[in-house]
Structure 1
Amino acid sequence: MTLWTAEEAAAATGGVAIGDWHVNGISIDTRSIAKGDLFVALKAARDGHDFVAQALEKGAGAALVSRRPEGVSEDAPLLLVEDVQTGLEALGRAGRARTDARVIAVTGSVGKTSTKEMLARMLSDQGRTHAAVASYNNHWGVPLTLARMPRDTEFAVIEIGMNHPGEISPLAKQARPHVAMVTTVAPVHLEAFDGIEGIAAEKAAIMDGLEPGGVAVLNADIAEAPILQAVAGRAAQDVQWFGTGQGPIAPSYRLVATTLRGDETEAEVTLPGGQGHRLQIQSLGAHFAMNALGALACLAALDLDLTKAVQSLSLWSPVTGRGARETVSLGAGQGEILLLDDSYNANPTSVAAALAVLAATPCEGRRIAYLGDMKELGPQEAALHAALADLPAMADLDAVHCIGPLMGALHAALPADKRGGHYASSADVLADLPGQIGAGDVVLAKGSLSMALAKVVDGIRELGHGEATS
């Protein structure tokens, strides 16, 4: 199916189309570009214009550029605009405007991506659904997701993130959601804010983009709920709260009980009117149950079938780097390791949740954690790292290996019987892995993306033959 014709893309961006082309997708990376994609020459670490010729050689249908790149013929299929980022944003707005899709936008300090994936899984069984891939939630990820939206989309899920004040509102206004969800507010990116209240205000800005009659779905358990409530009062026609009932606002969607059993999470929830449901999630974690409850509230705001949604939810599992579980076989008769791959990101809240999952996972051997630095925490960074030693889950762990200078604070605070190695980088861990992990162990890898805990994950896989289990 054609996504954009040259004429449509030129009209959307105010650019000039060279050639009569059409494209079936959009890409920003020549390594994964597909034949017939529109290549967007964004400027990041490298200028995307340097890769246009390569993209066209690989079969790109056209390229979105601000100038004709060197080595590209005069008759090459191009869309010339004044600025590529601005052109992508215009294409995204046009993609959003031409569809009748009902849109859910999700933000939050923790759980954005997993909640987005839950929503996409549930919605896909109720209509044609489009969602952001990976964590495409920033200034280029949101417009890229919108520009990729097929015109016959019925439901869309847009993930919106931030690193600094003022980033969420313009992205929300591009997405124009019918439902806006805030998963939670936590001390993440503190170095860019005066305090957690500023983070809450920034997360609340997702409601700036709500369509008329829009619904806000908000976490009732967090101390900052009144900040979200104040914004919702002016921006949303309706507000639905989800939580355990232990916070400052009484939730209409209530998490009654959560049970971690085997490699699954079961949750009892009640919805407005007293209707009850039992949720089954193919991964351990009370945080998954909470986010699933908020996701159900989003579907209810769109008047969708919640019974069917609960059935769909039971088929969802986390993606790689976001809590995915793998069995690593050590060879015939030598046993297995259970690997918890949560290596994509880390902050105090998500690390606490991941350690709770590790502590609750059935284990024949030892429970071992590899933890990398949590970045962007500001002046409190050392104290926040050291405080992890006081988490209740630590009592059930056998060894905690620390990676990075900031994790030195945790290493020093750990009891001697749980203190593993302290390494400068993930690469430094690899040589020691065979002596640290054995059959029957459950191993967690968790850290900020820049700490490259994926190297530790790969090193553990190389101890045997990894088999994804969920």
Structure 2
Amino acid sequence: MLLSGLAEQLDGEIIGDNVEISALSTDTRALKKGDTYLALVGPNFNGNDFLMEAESNGAIAAIVSNPISKHAQPLPLLRVKDTHLALGKIASINRERSTARVIALTGSQGKTTVKEMIGAILCREGETLITQANQNNTVGVPLTLLQITDQHKFAVIEIGADCHGEIEFSAAMAKPNIALITNANAAHIEGFGSLQGIVEAKGEIIGTAEESASIILNADDENVAQWIERAAGKKVIQFSAANPQADCYAKDTVVGKKGVVSFTLSTPRGLERISLQLLGKHNVTNAVAAATAALEVGASLKSIGEGLGSLVPVNRRLNPRVGFNSCCVVDDTYNASPSSFKAAIDVLVLFPERKILIAGDMKELGSEAEESHREVGRYASDSGVDGLWTVGDLSSLASAELGKKGKHFATTNELIYACKALAASDVVFLVKGSRGAHMEVIVDELIEAGGD
């Protein structure tokens, strides 16, 4: 496409030569020769300041929002009012050109795991694009949509949010054929004001789907009735971990040693026995959600069984490793909320070894923060963990609930030292906390010392 063609669609102004453009990049450090640089602006950065870097790294043109002197421009420019909105518009254009079936999903927990599960299934059915890493925000979603090509049969787009309106913004670009909500609970509640605010925000994905789209909902979520009402006039499909009234559900679930799970998937097209490599009964719900979405775009039961069975633990999500002195370290440090902490504890207590929960703070819980940490502590105590060791400003409230079995440490280094002192082949540490708690430092130290 010529720069002038894009200028017409974005209502922008060309400064300099009318060059042919193709790939887009928002990061001068990752930019490839021939890319067009799009200068995003945020609260702590201004991409318009990096035009010289973009030019020296091989950019053929740039999309900017700041006024640029014609005498100071290092390369051909397209000036628009808002580069973030321009990125979304360009992504929408690419999405509209594609015949790929798009599955967009959101939810408080399980998004990334369900995304990976759907991808593992659909790659057996055709070329599949999935959101990489945690590129699920209002920048990552359009950048993912820009990667859709004519070769893609499917695209699986994960959508996250920190406040109202972000899911609607991202999902409107994706124009999903299938919209899936995993659940809604009190995770990152600060940006939404209340649990009801979270429920409403997750439901934004429903309104962006076409009338012909399928809406896939969790029958086990207490908020499902609100989403069903919001989806009036659209096809609604429900999934469940055990409820036979749902369209797709699990039965004959077996939780084995150390949390490995198998179950029979019941669908309108028949039954399939599923054996997961992922830990935890909560992954049954994730697997049924993924299977439901995959079925709706035509995947076979064979592909579903093989795909789900092939998936290994996602990085820093209940990933068991060998650590110092042959101890087991279960890395669940990607993020944390009260419900995900409880799911992790459910996995930990299935290990036959001595069970120590290493917990950091949960962030973004607002006025619920103190009680949420106490709640996790009580749950750990009732579940029978052998110890709860904590570090952080609020996590001491959790360890205090366990009496002598609870210990709070002033620093991460002190906690690591205590872990190494206890570490043995009959000890398992499960390490968890919000991303801002940086609990991965503990995992990495124990793993490095263990040579895994």
Q: Same fold (TM over 0.5)?
A: yes
Distance 1:404 1:265, change over 3 A: same
Distance 1:360 1:152, change over 3 A: same
* C-alpha separation in 2, matches of 1:337 and 1:69: 59
The match for 2:367 is: 379
* 3-state SS of 1:304 partner: coil
* C-alpha separation in 2, matches of 1:268 and 1:210: 30
* C-alpha separation in 2, matches of 1:61 and 1:361: 56
Q: Is the 8 A contact 1:92 1:143 kept in 2?
A: yes
Residue 76 (structure 1) shift = 2.4
For the pair 1:240 / 2:227, whether they are aligned, the reply is no
The match for 2:292 is: 297
Give the letter for the 2:181 counterpart. Answer: V
For the pair 1:259 / 2:254, whether they are aligned, the reply is yes
Alignment equivalent of 1:422, drawn from 401, 409, 420: 409
* C-alpha separation in 2, matches of 1:352 and 1:160: 24
The match for 1:462 is: 448
Equivalent residues in 2 for 1:16-415, closer than 5 Å: 16=14, 19=17, 20-24=19-23, 26-44=24-42, 45-60=44-59, 62-67=61-66, 74-76=73-75, 78-193=77-192, 195-234=194-233, 236=234, 238-245=235-242, 250-262=245-257, 264-272=260-268, 275-328=270-323, 330=324, 335-363=325-353, 366-391=354-379, 395-415=383-403
Residue 327 (structure 1) shift = 2.7
Distance 1:306 1:13, change over 3 A: farther
* C-alpha separation in 1, matches of 2:9 and 2:440: 39
Q: Which moved more, 1:12-21 or 1:289-298?
A: 12-21
Distance 1:29 1:428, change over 3 A: farther
Distance 1:394 1:327, change over 3 A: farther
Q: Is the 8 A contact 2:345 2:383 kept in 1?
A: no
* C-alpha separation in 2, matches of 1:35 and 1:367: 52
For the pair 1:435 / 2:431, whether they are aligned, the reply is no
Deviations along 1:198-242, whole A, 9 cap, x unmatched?
A: 3222212211111231111100012111111111224x2x11111
Distance 1:27 1:12, change over 3 A: same
Distance 1:413 1:131, change over 3 A: same
Residue 413 (structure 1) shift = 1.3
* C-alpha separation in 1, matches of 2:176 and 2:108: 19
* C-alpha separation in 1, matches of 2:139 and 2:10: 15
* C-alpha separation in 2, matches of 1:262 and 1:53: 57
RMSD after superposition:
2.7
Distance 1:392 1:461, change over 3 A: closer
For the pair 1:449 / 2:435, whether they are aligned, the reply is yes
* 3-state SS of 1:321 partner: coil
Q: Is the 8 A contact 1:219 1:225 kept in 2?
A: yes
* C-alpha separation in 2, matches of 1:288 and 1:393: 23
Residue 257 (structure 1) shift = 3.4
Give the letter for the 1:346 counterpart. Answer: A
Q: Normalising by structure 1, report the TM-score.
A: 0.86
* C-alpha separation in 2, matches of 1:73 and 1:339: 55
Distance 1:10 1:436, change over 3 A: farther
* C-alpha separation in 2, matches of 1:42 and 1:201: 28
Q: Is the 8 A contact 1:265 1:284 kept in 2?
A: yes
Distance 1:217 1:284, change over 3 A: same
Give the letter for the 2:272 counterpart. Answer: H
Give the letter for the 1:258 counterpart. Answer: T
* C-alpha separation in 1, matches of 2:130 and 2:163: 24
* C-alpha separation in 1, matches of 2:283 and 2:246: 17
Residue 75 (structure 1) shift = 4.8
Q: Is the 8 A contact 2:249 2:265 kept in 1?
A: yes
Aligned residues: 447
Distance 1:359 1:17, change over 3 A: farther
Deviations along 1:433-462, whole A, 9 cap, x unmatched?
A: 432433443222211111112222222222
Unmatched tracts of structure 1, length 5 or more? none
* C-alpha separation in 2, matches of 1:429 and 1:12: 56
Unmatched tracts of structure 2, length 5 or more? none
